[in-house]
Structure 1
Amino acid sequence: MDSKQHLYLVDGSAYIFRAYHRLPPLTNPEGTPVGAVYGYTTMLWKLAEDLNKADGPTHLAVILDASSHSFRNDIYADYKANRPPPPEDLVPQFPLIRDATRAFSLPCIEEQGLEADDLIASYARAATAQGWDVTIVSSDKDLMQLVGKCGIGGGCVDMLDTMKNQRIDIPEVIEKFGVPPEKVGDVLALMGDAVDNVPGVYGVGPKTATKLIQDYGDLESALAAAPEMKKSKLQERLIEQAEQARLSKVLVTLKEDCTLPMALDDFKLDAIPPEPLAAFLSTHGFTSLLKRLDTGHGSPERATQLNPAKATTAAAASPTEGAARQPLPEWPAIDRDAYECVTTDAQLDEWIAKAFAARLVAVDTETSMLDAMRADLAGISLAVGPNEACYIPLGHGGSDMFAEKPVQVSLGAAVSRLKPLLESDAVLKVGQNIKYDLNVLARHGIAVAPIDDTMIVSFCLDAGRQIEGIGGGHGMDELSQRHLGHTTLTFKEICGTGKKAIPFGEVPLDRATQYAAEDADVTWRLHSALKPRLSFEGGTRIYERVDRPLIPVVAQMERHGVKVDREKLFGLSSQFAEAIGALEKEIFEKVGQEFTIGSPKQLGDILFDKLGYKGGKKGKSGQYSTDQSVLEKLAAEGEVVATKVLEWRQLSKLRSTYTEALQAAINPETGRVHTSYSLVGAQTGRLSSTDPNLQNIPIRTEIGRQIRHCFVAEPGNVLLAADYSQIELRLAAHMADVPSLKEAFAAGEDIHSRTAMEMFGTVDRDTRGRAKTINFAILYGISRWGLAGRLGTSSDEAQAMIDRYFERFPGIQRYIHETLESVRAKGYSETLFGRKTWFPRVNSKNQAERQGSERAAINAPIQGTSADIIKRAMARMTPALVEAGLPNVRMLLQVHDELVFELPEGEVAAASPVIERVMAEAALPAVTLDVPLGIEIGHGESWGAAH
Structure 2
Amino acid sequence: MTDAAQIAPEARSPERAVRKGDHVFLVDGSSYIFRAYHALPPLTRKSDGLPIGAVAGFCNMLWRLLRDSVAGEKPTHLAVVFDKSATTFRNALYDEYKSHRPEPPEDLRPQFRLIRDAVRAFDIPCVEQDGFEADDIIATYARVACEAGATTTIVASDKDLMQLVGNGVTMYDTMKEKRIGRDEVVEKFGVQPEKVVEVQALIGDPIDNVPGVPGIGVKTAAQLIAEFGDLETLLSRAHEIKQPKRREALIENAEKARLSRKLVLLDKHVPLDRPIDTIGVHDPDPKRLVSFLKAMEFNAVTRRVCEAYGLEASAIDADPDLAAPGAGTSWHGVTGFTPVQAESEAPAAGRGSRSAAMGAPQTRAGTYKGAENTVAPQAAAPADASGPTPGHKAGEVAARMRAIPFQLSAYETVRTLERLDAWIAEAYDLGLVAFDTETTSLDAMQAELVGFSLCTAPGKACYIPVGHKGEGKGDLFGGADLLPDQLALADVLARLKPLLEDKGVLKVAQNFKYDWMVLCRHGIHVAPADDTMLLSYVLDAGRANHGMDALAESVLGHQSIQFGHVAGSGKSFIGFARVAIDKATEYAAEDADVTFRLWQVLKARLPAEGMTTAYETLERPLSTVLGRMEQRGISIDRQMLSRLSGEFAQKMAGLEAEIHVLAGEPFNLGSPKQLGDILFGKMGLPGAKKTATGAWSTSAGVLDDLAEQGHALPARILEWRQLSKLKSTYTDALPSYVHKETHRVHTCFSMASTTTGRLSSSEPNIQNIPIRTEEGRKIRAAFVSAPGTKLISADYSQIELRVLAHVADIPQLRRAFAEGIDIHALTASEMFGVPVEGMDPMVRRRAKAINFGIIYGISAFGLANQLGIPREEAGAYIKKYFERFPGIRDYMEETKRFARSNGFVTTIFGRKAHYPQINSKNPQERAFMERAAINAPIQGSAADIIRRAMVRMEPALEKARVSAKMLLQVHDELVFEVPDEQIEKAIPVIRRVMEEAPHPAVQLSVPLQVDARAAHNWDEAH
Give TM class, smaller chain: 0.7 to 0.9
2:288 partner amino acid: A
Answer yes or no: is 1:487 the counterpart of 2:559: yes
Counterparts in 2 of 1:458 and 1:402: CA distance versus 1, 3 Å: closer
Q: CA deviation at 1:90?
A: 6.1
**CA contact under 8 A between 2:625 and 2:950: conserved in structure 1?**
yes
1:351 partner amino acid: W
Counterparts in 2 of 1:355 and 1:41: CA distance versus 1, 3 Å: closer
Counterparts in 2 of 1:525 and 1:28: CA distance versus 1, 3 Å: farther
Answer yes or no: is 1:39 the counterpart of 2:103: yes
SS in structure 2 opposite 1:172? coil
User: Could you tell me which residue of structure 2 aligns to residue 755 of structure 1?
Assistant: 827
Once the two structures are overlaid, the 10-residue window that deviates more, 593-602 or 683-692, is 593-602
1:811 to 877, 883, 887: 887
State how far apart, in whole Å, the 1-side matches of 2:689 and 2:289 are: 77
State how far apart, in whole Å, the 1-side matches of 2:693 and 2:982 are: 59
State how far apart, in whole Å, the 2-side matches of 1:937 and 1:760 are: 33
Counterparts in 2 of 1:33 and 1:863: CA distance versus 1, 3 Å: farther
Q: Which has the higher contact order (CA 8 A, sep 6+)?
A: 2
**CA contact under 8 A between 2:411 and 2:462: conserved in structure 1?**
yes
User: Could you tell me which residue of structure 2 aligns to residue 426 of structure 1?
Assistant: 504
User: Could you tell me which residue of structure 1 aligns to residue 296 of structure 2?
Assistant: 135
1:307 to 362, 380, 386: 386
User: Could you tell me which residue of structure 1 aligns to residue 958 of structure 2?
Assistant: 882
User: Could you tell me which residue of structure 2 aligns to residue 676 of structure 1?
Assistant: 748
Q: How does 1:781-930 map to 2 (within 5 A)?
A: 781-886=857-962, 888-930=963-1005
Q: How does 1:158-169 map to 2 (within 5 A)?
A: none
**CA contact under 8 A between 1:550 and 1:871: conserved in structure 2?**
yes
Q: CA deviation at 1:801?
A: 1.4
State how far apart, in whole Å, the 2-side matches of 1:504 and 1:724 are: 44
Q: Deviations over 1:599-657 (max 9, x none)?
A: 22211110122122222222332222211122122222221111110110000000111
SS in structure 1 opposite 2:616? helix
Q: CA deviation at 1:543?
A: 0.4
Answer yes or no: is 1:767 the counterpart of 2:831: no
Answer yes or no: is 1:934 the counterpart of 2:1018: no
1:307 partner amino acid: S
User: Could you tell me which residue of structure 1 aligns to residue 693 of structure 2?
Assistant: 621
1:826 partner amino acid: N
User: Could you tell me which residue of structure 2 aligns to residue 720 of structure 1?
Assistant: 792
Counterparts in 2 of 1:662 and 1:186: CA distance versus 1, 3 Å: closer
1:444 partner amino acid: H
> TM (normalized to structure 1)?
0.76
Answer yes or no: is 1:172 the counterpart of 2:333: no
Counterparts in 2 of 1:744 and 1:393: CA distance versus 1, 3 Å: same
Q: CA deviation at 1:919?
A: 0.3
Q: How does 1:134-283 map to 2 (within 5 A)?
A: 134-135=295-296, 150=313, 153-155=316-318, 172-173=344-345, 177=347, 184=348, 193-194=357-358, 267=379
Answer yes or no: is 1:780 the counterpart of 2:856: yes
User: Could you tell me which residue of structure 2 aligns to residue 243 of structure 1?
Assistant: none
Q: How does 1:311-460 map to 2 (within 5 A)?
A: 327-329=399-401, 332-398=404-470, 399=472, 401=479, 403=481, 405-460=483-538
State how far apart, in whole Å, the 2-side matches of 1:541 and 1:790 are: 40
**CA contact under 8 A between 1:429 and 1:449: conserved in structure 2?**
yes
Counterparts in 2 of 1:325 and 1:806: CA distance versus 1, 3 Å: farther
SS in structure 2 opposite 1:478? helix
Counterparts in 2 of 1:766 and 1:550: CA distance versus 1, 3 Å: same
**CA contact under 8 A between 1:7 and 1:134: conserved in structure 2?**
no
**CA contact under 8 A between 1:16 and 1:40: conserved in structure 2?**
no
Counterparts in 2 of 1:401 and 1:822: CA distance versus 1, 3 Å: closer
SS in structure 1 opposite 2:917? coil
**CA contact under 8 A between 1:4 and 1:132: conserved in structure 2?**
no
**CA contact under 8 A between 2:107 and 2:607: conserved in structure 1?**
no
Q: Deviations over 1:50-91 (max 9, x none)?
A: 9xxxxxxxxxxx977673549999998555354433894666
SS in structure 2 opposite 1:85? helix
> TM (normalized to structure 2)?
0.71
SS in structure 2 opposite 1:514? helix
Q: CA deviation at 1:403?
A: 4.3
Q: CA deviation at 1:862?
A: 0.8
User: Could you tell me which residue of structure 2 aligns to residue 233 of structure 1?
Assistant: none
SS in structure 2 opposite 1:842? coil
State how far apart, in whole Å, the 2-side matches of 1:483 and 1:7 are: 50
User: Could you tell me which residue of structure 2 aligns to residue 84 of structure 1?
Assistant: 159
State how far apart, in whole Å, the 2-side matches of 1:338 and 1:476 are: 21
State how far apart, in whole Å, the 2-side matches of 1:940 and 1:7 are: 67
SS in structure 1 opposite 2:968? strand
**CA contact under 8 A between 2:360 and 2:504: conserved in structure 1?**
no
State how far apart, in whole Å, the 1-side matches of 2:939 and 2:708 are: 30
State how far apart, in whole Å, the 2-side matches of 1:132 and 1:633 are: 66
Percent identity over the alignment? Answer: 43
User: Could you tell me which residue of structure 1 aligns to residue 646 of structure 2?
Assistant: 574
Q: Deviations over 1:149-177 (max 9, x none)?
A: 958542268899999996988x612xx54
SS in structure 1 opposite 2:753? coil
Counterparts in 2 of 1:817 and 1:122: CA distance versus 1, 3 Å: farther
State how far apart, in whole Å, the 2-side matches of 1:791 and 1:720 are: 34
Q: CA deviation at 1:850?
A: 0.8
2:317 partner amino acid: G
SS in structure 2 opposite 1:574? helix
State how far apart, in whole Å, the 2-side matches of 1:607 and 1:626 are: 9
User: Could you tell me which residue of structure 1 aligns to residue 670 of structure 2?
Assistant: 598
**CA contact under 8 A between 1:787 and 1:798: conserved in structure 2?**
yes
Q: Deviations over 1:125-147 (max 9, x none)?
A: 53766x996339x99x9999779
Q: CA deviation at 1:414?
A: 1.2
SS in structure 1 opposite 2:530? strand
Counterparts in 2 of 1:478 and 1:693: CA distance versus 1, 3 Å: same
Counterparts in 2 of 1:330 and 1:896: CA distance versus 1, 3 Å: closer
1:760 partner amino acid: F
State how far apart, in whole Å, the 2-side matches of 1:114 and 1:694 are: 69
Q: CA deviation at 1:794?
A: 3.0
State how far apart, in whole Å, the 2-side matches of 1:196 and 1:651 are: 55
Aligned-residue Cα RMSD (Å) equals 4.3
SS in structure 1 opposite 2:732? helix
Counterparts in 2 of 1:33 and 1:732: CA distance versus 1, 3 Å: farther
2:667 partner amino acid: F
**CA contact under 8 A between 1:390 and 1:513: conserved in structure 2?**
yes
Counterparts in 2 of 1:943 and 1:494: CA distance versus 1, 3 Å: same
User: Could you tell me which residue of structure 2 aligns to residue 943 of structure 1?
Assistant: 1018
Q: CA deviation at 1:766?
A: 1.0
State how far apart, in whole Å, the 2-side matches of 1:569 and 1:20 are: 49
Counterparts in 2 of 1:114 and 1:363: CA distance versus 1, 3 Å: farther
**CA contact under 8 A between 1:19 and 1:37: conserved in structure 2?**
no
**CA contact under 8 A between 2:907 and 2:936: conserved in structure 1?**
yes
Q: Deviations over 1:891-917 (max 9, x none)?
A: 000001000001111110010000000
2:805 to 709, 733, 751: 733
State how far apart, in whole Å, the 2-side matches of 1:893 and 1:944 are: 13
State how far apart, in whole Å, the 2-side matches of 1:912 and 1:154 are: 45
User: Could you tell me which residue of structure 2 aligns to residue 255 of structure 1?
Assistant: none
Q: CA deviation at 1:412?
A: 1.1
Gaps spanning 5+ residues in structure 1: where?
A: 51-61, 94-108, 178-183, 199-263, 270-302, 316-321, 466-471
